[in-house]
Amino acid sequence: MPRAGAADHPCLGALGAWAARHPLPPEAAAASQPWAVAYSGGADSTALLLAAQALWPGRVQALHVHHGLQAAGDDFERHARAACSRLDVPLTVLRVDARHAPGQSPEDAARQSRYRALAAAALDAGAACVLLGQHAQDQAETLLLALSRGAGLPGLAGMAESFERHGARFGRPLLAVDGQALRDWLDGQGIAYVVDPTNADQRYTRNRIRARLLPAFAESFSAYAQTLARSARHAAQAQTLLDEVAAQDLALVGDPPVIKALQRLSRARQANLLRHWLRLHWQAGPSEAQLEQALEQIAACTTRGHQIRLKLASGYLLRAGAGLSYQPPI
Ligand SMILES: Nc1ncnc2c1ncn2[C@@H]1O[C@H](COP(=O)(O)OP(=O)(O)OP(=O)(O)O)[C@@H](O)[C@H]1O
């Protein structure tokens, strides 16, 4: 791989700026903890791996997940091994069982098991953070996907540039980097990467958005990736405020919420509190119709004998004495 640390690498600036915005905790920085890069072998994570290696030589580890789902998985692993050996970057290959449960989408199952495996491997390796390769067009797709599903603010906030999952820290330093610029750079350098054949499968909504919607957007609004990203940041900021209000309200009405105290809040604050409460303890997200029903029931709950039992997300909201309780699915 020629000129791996080239100064014109389109991800270098973004990675450095991201690291400055999200400094490592002092003990991690002092111990020179390694950075883990989630390396699929595709263009985005290849560019990220090269940028990380250029910025922190000798402190980068690659993590490659073999999902065991498609025949091409073995080729991806072979490619990852060869590329990391050329770059002199230590690589850990993680084999996961990504089969989906009934009712779960295959992509979601693969994503869940991937994050779990990456987090466990990063903790094992003592890595400070796992870096992911999503770029500006991925963020735009995420936003359009959220809009197409009628998502609320958490969905419209798009992908976070730093978050914690399964006890590990993750980062997405390339969210403002143009995907085409990154691929052009790799091609110009003669750096090979794999192309996942399922990315072209138009049965997936995300792929249809990428293949049809984004080109149409780009034709009419050349700065669409930046403007959509700005909208995502506004939504994320508003969601942070709503979470703060919900946390204050929850402290006021009790956890689990006392019905009489809940009824004293405005309907919008009740809805915000219930969403927050369900997400906080059970990562559950009720539909708009379910939430409306819950609010009706809470408003009608003015006598001792009034029972509440209704489906909320995939569990049940119940009345338990003076308060609410939630029964998650078994
Ligand atoms: N099999 C994998 N092993 C390790 N990391 C992965 C794997 N698949 C995805 N990732 C990480 O998650 C990010 C987003 O994944 P997604 O499936 O959206 O992208 P991708 O098309 O695989 O991207 P890339 O071009 O980097 O391969 C990737 O950039 C990479 O950092």
Is the model's pLDDT at 1 over the cut of 50? Answer: no
Whole-angstrom distance, CA of residue 45 vs CA of residue 40: 6
pLDDT band at residue 215 under the 50/70/90 scheme: very high
**pTM of the full predicted structure?**
0.88
Q: Which atom of ligand 1 is nearest to the CA of 37?
A: 31
Give the per-residue pLDDT at 38. 98
Is the model's pLDDT at 319 over the cut of 50? Answer: yes
Q: Domain segments of the chain: what residues?
A: 12-222, 254-327
244 or 204, which is more confident: 244
Q: Which atom of ligand 1 is nearest to the CA of 196?
A: 21
**In terms of C-beta distances under 8 Å and separation of at least 24 residues, what long-range contacts does 20-23 make, across chains too?**
21/161, 22/129, 22/161, 22/162, 22/171
Q: Which atom of ligand 1 is nearest to the CA of 194?
A: 27
The model's pLDDT over 115-124, given as tens digits with 9 standing for 90+, comes to: 999 999 999 9
Does 65 sit in the ligand 1 pocket, CB within 6 Å? yes
The model's pLDDT over 3-16, given as tens digits with 9 standing for 90+, comes to: 445 678 999 999 99
Whole-angstrom distance, CA of residue 148 vs CA of residue 271: 22
Does 64 sit in the ligand 1 pocket, CB within 6 Å? yes
Which tokens in the block code for residue 157?
């906030």
Using the mean position of ligand 1's atoms as its centre, give its distance from the Cα of residue 19 in Å: 20
The model's pLDDT over 161-175, given as tens digits with 9 standing for 90+, comes to: 999 999 999 999 999
User: Which residues does 4 contact at the CB level (< 8 Å), separation at least 6?
Assistant: 50, 53, 54, 87
Q: Rounded to 5 degrees, what are φ and ψ at 213?
A: -75, -45
73-75-79-85 Cα dihedral, nearest 10 degrees: 90
Using the mean position of ligand 1's atoms as its centre, give its distance from the Cα of residue 23 in Å: 23
Region of poorest pLDDT, from 102-111, 232-241, 269-278: 102-111
Q: Decide the pairing of beta strands 91-95 and 168-171.
A: unpaired
Top mutation candidate among 35, 37, 45 for ligand 1, by most atoms within 8 Å of CB: 45
Superfamily (CATH) of domain 12-222: HUPs (3.40.50.620)
**In terms of C-beta distances under 8 Å and separation of at least 24 residues, what long-range contacts does 196-202 make, across chains too?**
196/40, 196/42, 196/72, 196/76, 197/70, 197/72, 198/70
42 marked as binding residue:
yes
The model's pLDDT over 234-255, given as tens digits with 9 standing for 90+, comes to: 999 999 999 999 999 999 999 9
Give the per-residue pLDDT at 6. 66
Give the per-residue pLDDT at 236. 93
pLDDT band at residue 199 under the 50/70/90 scheme: confident
**In terms of C-beta distances under 8 Å and separation of at least 24 residues, what long-range contacts does 319-323 make, across chains too?**
319/259, 320/256, 322/258, 322/259, 322/260, 323/254, 323/256, 323/257, 323/258, 323/259
Kindly provide the ipTM of the predicted complex, given to two decimals.
0.92
Strand runs labelled E in 156-274: 162-165, 168-171
DSSP string of 68-92, one letter each residue? SSSTHHHHHHHHHHHHHHHHT--EE
The model's pLDDT over 277-309, given as tens digits with 9 standing for 90+, comes to: 999 999 899 999 999 999 999 999 999 999 999
Is the model's pLDDT at 2 over the cut of 50? Answer: no
The model's pLDDT over 21-39, given as tens digits with 9 standing for 90+, comes to: 999 888 887 788 999 999 9
The model's pLDDT over 257-268, given as tens digits with 9 standing for 90+, comes to: 999 999 999 999
Give the per-residue pLDDT at 106. 77
Chain-wide mean pLDDT for the chain?
A: 93
Q: What percent of the chain has pLDDT over 90?
A: 83
pLDDT band at residue 219 under the 50/70/90 scheme: very high
